[in-house]
A = this chain, B = another copy of it.
Amino acid sequence: METYQFPGSAALFKRAAKVIPCGVYGHFSPAPCVPADAYPFFASRANGSRFWDVDGNEFIDYMCAYGPMILGYGNPVVDEAFRAQMNQADSCSLASPKMVELAEYLVNLIPIANWAFFAKNGADITNFAVMIARAATGRKKIIAIRGGYHGTSPWMQAPGHHGVTEEDQENIVRVPWNDIAALEAVFDRHPGDVAGFISTPYHHPVFADNEMPAEGYWQKVQALLRKHGAVFIIDDVRCGFRLHMGGSCEYFGFKPDLICFCKAIANGYPISALVGVEALKNTAAKVFHTGSYWFSAGPMAAALACLKELKRLDAPEILRAIGRKLNEGMVAIAKSHGYDLKVTGDPGMAYYRITDDPTLMLHQQWCAECTRRGAFFTSHHNWFVSTAHSDKDIQQTWDICDDAFKAIKS
């Protein structure tokens, strides 16, 4: 099987490193892509389930822009809705009727939602949710899951990260995932001072197997938070509309007070949304929160079209089916080469790990060999599929995966 070369990416990265900190930063940083010469760094074109790098290499994309791309790049339904709105108005001095339509649609779609609020980043919305929890309760402490991720605002980062002060972290209390006793202990330690609890619907850290909620976990969390009058926040930025159209809480059978959506809400157009229960609407109205482009109408029209299309297709079921098929084949191919490939998390956004690989180097090497052959994987982040991933894509991915295992054995 032919393997790709990336001279164009390497040259462009050299230029980037001169004028951009890290060259490429944040979750797009190629630093975890090891070995570096097995990965492309810049894309010039994308369509459906695929993108092309600056060297003209074609990839089946299993990162899906790290989540936003759920209907395939250049989805005609979403793109046409976006273009039609852009021909009328986007950023303007007044809000758009599309904002009202989108809020009404979300309130109908999401069982717990009585209202919706729009911003640009996931962090805009997790930040706002925490402020609402504090304003509603008059309390300060926020409970979060150890290893959880809710954006890069200083309070959300791991303690000790560069640029983060102790005061930023002072009101954050971390508990392990799936640990009701630890959660109860926080209420004992901070009586009457817990404003809220924030968590993803299941635990999807990087560099570690993903973990589903234990039987009854969410129902116990919900009861505990209600008992103590603390606000229940679900960060559905990564899972939202991939597990269930009504919010991932519906998939697991519980009712939070606030849900944070971003990523897949508009198939890549920049918008995030907080939805909430009626009891928090007046508080949400009091907390001042805004941004330069938050009223832009184009991404709102795209979100409306994307959500309708996801619902029409029953996308969560499609994604799970595609994911299951892909994953089962991958595990079988690994086994045929004598490797145990562990797959955790939701099938459509699974985390892969080759077991018996304590340094992770084998897994990294295998991901790199797959990428060199046209299946774009990163090593230590969950992957994503889209509704545009076809049987042909999967078959080609399996062939690549098979060849990559041969390569790492030799």
Contacts and interface: CB of A to CB of B under 8 A. Distances in A.
A27 interface: yes
Given A94-B53, A96-B43, A272-B292, A21 B281 contact: yes
A120 B26 contact: no
Contacts of A28: 94-95, 290, 294-295
A45 B168 CA distance: 42
Contacts of A202: none
A212 interface: no
Interface stretch (A154-162, A218-226, A314-322, A353-361): A154-162
Contacts of A152: 288-291
A85 B285 CA distance: 37
A97 B12 contact: yes
A107 B41 CA distance: 21
Interface in A140-155: 140, 151-154
A67 B293 CA distance: 10
B293 A68 contact: yes
Among A64, A88, A92, A283, residue most surrounded by chain B Cβ atoms (within 10 Å) = A92
Nearest to A47: B89
Interface stretch (A131-139, A343-351, A398-406): A131-139
Taking the full assembly, how many copies of this chain does it contain? Answer: 2
Given A131-B163, A167-B170, A268 B90 contact: yes
Interface string A71-103: 001000001000000101111111111011001
Most chain B CB neighbours (cut-off 10 Å) among A79, A167, A262:
A167
Interface of A: 12, 15-16, 19-22, 24-28, 40-46, 51, 53-54, 61, 63-69, 73, 79, 86, 88-97, 99-100, 103-104, 106-107, 114-117, 120-124, 127, 130-132, 134-135, 140, 151-154, 157, 161-165, 167-168, 170-171, 237, 262-263, 268-270, 272, 281-296, 299, 376
Given A21-B284, A270-B270, 19 more contacts: A15-B100, A16-B95, A19-B103, A19-B116, A20-B116, A28-B95, A28-B294, A43-B89, A44-B89, A44-B97, A46-B90, A51-B89, A65-B91, A65-B92, A66-B93, A66-B292, A121-B293, A140-B167, A162-B288
11 contacts: A19-B100, A20-B99, A26-B290, A43-B96, A45-B88, A61-B93, A68-B293, A152-B291, A153-B153, A263-B292, A269-B293
